[in-house]
Homo-oligomer: A and B are copies of this chain.
């Protein structure tokens, strides 16, 4: 399940934001991709449809969408920021290659119990969590000469 254009526009209006053609185009670009896209990549896609659109508008729109919790902002290797449509009923976690930045998504995690315990111990009302594993993917592991892990 993914947010539809309608639902997103509704959420924008609710938040007091206007629906502009630029925003529509950006939203569609994000909806229609299942990958993480950087602002520059989104700009590239959006320009195909609307060549005049500026990178600044991409940044501004993404910021709004993220603040409304409609998209998920990610930070991974290199430079650095990327966005993905949120899929409301799923969790969305990442396994990131620290060398090449490849991101693998996974949705299952068994943090329910931990969350309950923390919540009880701290009196927090927990609304979400971020879980990221970092490591080396198979390809990058191959490239490294040494695997000296002084932990071993």
A residues contacting B by CB (< 8 A) are 3, 7, 10-11, 14-15, 66-70, 72-77, 79-81, 88-89, 95-98, 104, 106, 109-111, 113-115, 118-119, 122-138, 141, 144, 146-151
Contact = CB atoms under 8 A, between A and B. Distances in A.
Chain A interface mostly: mixed
A121 to B, nearest CB: 9
B77 A75 contact: yes
23 contacts: A3-B150, A11-B148, A15-B148, A69-B149, A69-B150, A73-B77, A73-B98, A73-B134, A75-B75, A75-B80, A88-B151, A89-B151, A95-B126, A97-B124, A104-B122, A104-B124, A110-B113, A122-B138, A124-B135, A125-B136, A125-B147, A129-B134, A130-B131
